[in-house]
Structure 1
């Protein structure tokens, strides 16, 4: 039996209840409907899933909105509903031209449904000009238009748009809930589901990828091994090699994600422009002229593909950095003696977490901290490596390493050269600049 369109939103019961109630009220009295919504939540919280589910509930014709079985619900979730436009910027930003296309689409009266709905995922990628274009449409929306914008945090959207939206705030779901979703929806084995949910930090999409893609698991394992290598005795040459390997792996992953799509798009455009045909005489000359006159279209496509490739590489690099941060987060928990090995209702403290650990927490678990309230270890499958690094460093050094990783993320967001940024990070993690890691190892 269908769980309805809200069945894939986990750990957000209050949000689901609110959206259900609004969808029902909008059906009874459309005039009072809020025309702009802002879905806010950390990566992996399901903000885009919630926005799509809400769009489906608004269009649903069943007795209870969001049945998940009617044609409207199914086509909205599939991305094929004629009156629901779902946009996910694939490049580094969404510009003025694309924003104008969205505004024009939003201004149309719905063809078959109650509402003309526009779902804009990653709305934080709007350029300043695009945001201004969108602002005018949100200030004076068409009577049957609803905007659903998705961002990680409220400040990621300009205040002028943010102030005109009703806020829907999602949180990171519980690890156990993410694991249960993978088991129920995707048929993942229980132990694999829990490991993936923990390793992904309860990021739903990433957990699914780790649970079902062997290449993603292999890439994560390589990153965690790199973290352990950098934390151990290592020379400058070793640091630079590790940095290069991490960047190369992320770049290769991004290329794999985009290459097939790029080739298909280019082939389709060239075919539409007449290239590769077997016509002769006047038809061939006409086709040749069309191609010459359409070079701008090809350049525009290449520019979009380049932006998409840059976005894919940046996302892959960010996943690498978050894996590194997760490793050293676990190291810190072990050093402080507050790590929990399981995420069940009665979590057990990791045995021996304080053994051989220098610095704060060396005496054992923090007094008065119950096992069930202790933070869970993300990377339990490499717990021995985590304990080893914890024993050879201090909490202060670990915090410095985590700070360096976050600084690298900020640098990449500001368009720093990936290889240079990762080389600097590797040197900071190793402690070669200050020599503190080598001293700790000795």
Structure 2
């Protein structure tokens, strides 16, 4: 027997870092090793945020291109997982929507014959971020792909994609990884101590990326702890205003750190790809492309987008408080457990002060705040209003 959600040795290789998805891994492994004439050319890989849908698409692409169907050691596997294979194109965006010109470029790429591999694979992350007219441009290619092209679209659920697209794709639904599977992954892949891994997995609620953040970045975990305590101590409007201010400041600081680290990594990759050492001057012919990586407007835009992602994660953390309240009110702790175990006493007290309708109403307020936030509402005003609505 293998740990919960972990694949057998035969299904390792490119699948080694796929967490809690053994049935899907087994199915895709068989398809990659089977008759290519029986293989669907348009796929829709669905799973909640953090379930690893993009990683699943990359691993499947590697299994299709690898002579050994996903060994994880050959050049094809290593380049695909690193994002540097010439026949595997990944469209990821940190914008609110995927642009129509980006999709047209993808279509042009998809019609080219693969240069070194059996397939040209096009992976589109967050296809749900496409506007309808952009999706319509993609539709014909999804319906009738070029002979040697495979499309892999990723979205939170099939319902987030237009029916015309999902009806033309083979749908793969990913599960929410169990806490045990996520903790085991953190211990194996990042060397995290088991107790820290278990707590990070529990607080992340099945989101692998968030769990890794909590397990490896002390400040991110500290910010979450401070937020939960702040929500549980809300008593008056001034508390709400102060808590919203601290949250926005923390989110902006984390976003800036993340973007600066990303820019530094991209600059390092640029130097490596072009054969330049860390201290070498950038040749004039490459200077424009290099400077574009750290362009102020682009960095500011990416930081804004990243800040919204951090705030969205904060909304999930706040929602976990009222989820735990509802669990206690319904005597369901033995069945489903609490997320915020460290704050059990305060959550127990809150579950007595609120009635069941009050807990549900606060979860609805969090949903409203999320819609306002992603409707380009002012983050400070959104969270001030939310925290005022949460006061018992």
Secondary structure in 1 matching 2:333: coil
C-alpha distance in 1, partners of 2:136/2:307?
28
Aligned: 1:209 with 2:209: no
Matched-pair contact (CA < 8 Å) for 1:154–1:162: yes
Q: What whole-Å deviation, never above 9, does each CA across 1:314-373 have from its counterpart, x for those lacking one?
A: 111101100000122112212322214xxxxxxxxxxxxxxxxxxxxxxxxxxxxxxxxx
- Residue from 11, 15, 24 that aligns with 1:15: 24
| Distance (whole Å) between structure 1 residues aligned to residue 215 and residue 264 of structure 2 | 28
Q: Quick one: structure 1 residues 134 and 303, their matched pair in 2 at CA, closer, same or farther if it must change by over 3 Å?
A: farther
CA distance in 1, matches of 2:13, 2:258: 31
| 1:314–1:69 distance in 2 versus 1, CA, 3 Å | same
Which residue in 1 is equivalent to 2:170?
166
Residue of structure 1 equivalent to 2:33: 24
Question: Displaced runs of 4+ in structure 1, greater than 3 A?
Answer: 259-268, 301-307
- 1:8 and 1:260, CA in 2 relative to 1: closer, same or farther beyond 3 A? closer
Q: Which of 303, 310, 324 does residue 309 from structure 1 map onto?
A: 303
- The Cα of 1:165 is off from its aligned counterpart by 0.9
Matched, 1:177 2:181: yes
- Larger Cα-atom Rg: 1
Specify the alignment match of 1:99 in structure 2: 103
Query: Which residue of the partner structure matches residue 373 of structure 2?
Result: 412
The aligned counterpart of 2:277 is none
Question: Partner of 2:3 in structure 1?
Answer: none
Work out whether residues 35 and 145 of structure 1, in 8 Å CA contact, stay in contact via their aligned partners in 2: yes
- Residue 327 of structure 2 is aligned with which of 329, 333, 336? 333
* Counterpart Cα distance in 1 of 2:299 and 2:120: 29
Deviation, 1:140, is 2.8
TM-score of the pair, normalised by structure 2: 0.86
Question: In 1, are the aligned partners of 2:236 and 2:388 still within 8 Å (CA)?
Answer: no
2:145 maps to 1:136: no
Q: Is the 8 A contact 1:91 1:304 kept in 2?
A: no
Shift of 1:168: 0.4
Q: What is the correspondence of 1:123-272 to structure 2 with a 5 Å cutoff?
A: 123-230=127-234, 234-259=235-260, 261=262
Return the offset for 1:305. 4.2
TM (norm. structure 1) is 0.77
Displacement, 1:200?
Answer: 0.3
Match of 1:426 in 2: 387
Residue 110 (structure 1) aligned with residue 104 (structure 2): no
Q: Which residue of 1 aligns with 2:44?
A: 38
- Matched ranges for 1:395-406 at <5 A: 395-406=356-367
Distance in 2 (CA, whole Å) between partners of 1:67 and 1:142 is 27
What is the match of residue 440 of structure 1?
Answer: none
**Superposition CA RMSD, Å:** 2.8
Structure 1 residues not aligned, in runs of 5+: 269-277, 279-286, 341-373, 431-436, 438-442
8 Å CA contact 1:44–1:206 kept in 2: the answer is yes
**CA-CA distance at 1:129 after TM superposition:** 3.5
Matched-pair contact (CA < 8 Å) for 1:41–1:169: yes
Q: Is the 8 A contact 2:252 2:303 kept in 1?
A: no
Q: How big is the shift at 1:80?
A: 1.4
2:61 is aligned to: 55
How many pairs align? 370
Cα distance between partner residues in 2 of 1:170 and 1:108: 30
Alpha-carbon spacing, 1:34–1:92, altered in 2? closer, same or farther (3 Å): same
Structure 2, unpaired ranges of 5+ = 1-8, 271-280
Which residue of the partner structure matches residue 366 of structure 1? none
CA contact (8 A) 2:45 2:174 kept: yes
1:67-86 aligned at under 5 Å gives the runs 67-86=71-90
Q: Distance in 2 between matches of 1:304 and 1:162?
A: 33
- CA distance change for structure 1 residues 109 and 303 in 2, over 3 Å: closer, same or farther? farther
Task: Find the counterpart in structure 2 of residue 349 from structure 1.
Answer: none
